[in-house]
Amino acid sequence: MAKGPPPTPRINNKKARFNYEILERAEAGISLTGSEVKSLRSGKASLEEAFAVIRDGEVFLRDCNISPYPQAGYAQHKPTRERKLLLHKREIRKLFNKVTQKGLTLVPLKMYFNDRGLVKVLIGLVRGKKFHDKRQDLKKRDDQRAMERAQRRR
Q: Is residue 38 within a helix (H) or strand (E), and if so which, with residue range?
A: helix 34-41
pLDDT tens digits along 91-104 = 999 999 989 888 78
Which 3-state string (H, E, C) describes 110-121?
EEEECCCCCEEE
pLDDT at residue 129 in the model: 79
pLDDT at residue 2 in the model: 53
pLDDT at residue 111 in the model: 92
pTM: 0.79
pLDDT tens digits along 12-57 = 888 888 888 889 999 999 998 888 888 888 888 888 889 999 999 8
pLDDT at residue 120 in the model: 92
pLDDT at residue 1 in the model: 52
Task: Classify residue 62 by burial, with Cβ atoms within 10 Å: 0-12, 13-18, 19+.
Answer: middle
Name residue 113's beta-bridge partners. 119
108-136: b (≥16 Cβ within 10 Å) or e: bbbbbbeeeeebbbbbbbbeebeeeeeee
pLDDT at residue 29 in the model: 93
Residue 89 has pLDDT above 90, yes or no: yes
Name residue 83's beta-bridge partners. 61
pLDDT at residue 18 in the model: 82
pLDDT at residue 5 in the model: 62
Name residue 106's beta-bridge partners. 52, 125
User: 11-129 domain in CATH 2.40.280.10?
Assistant: yes
Task: Classify residue 152 by burial, with Cβ atoms within 10 Å: 0-12, 13-18, 19+.
Answer: exposed
The percent of residues above 90 in pLDDT, for the chain, comes to 32
Which of 115, 64, 116, 114 lies closest to 85, judged by CA?
64
DSSP designation for 122: E
pLDDT tens digits along 103-144 = 789 999 999 988 888 899 999 999 887 777 778 888 888 899
The three-state secondary structure class of 102 is helix
Mean pLDDT score, 62-89: 86
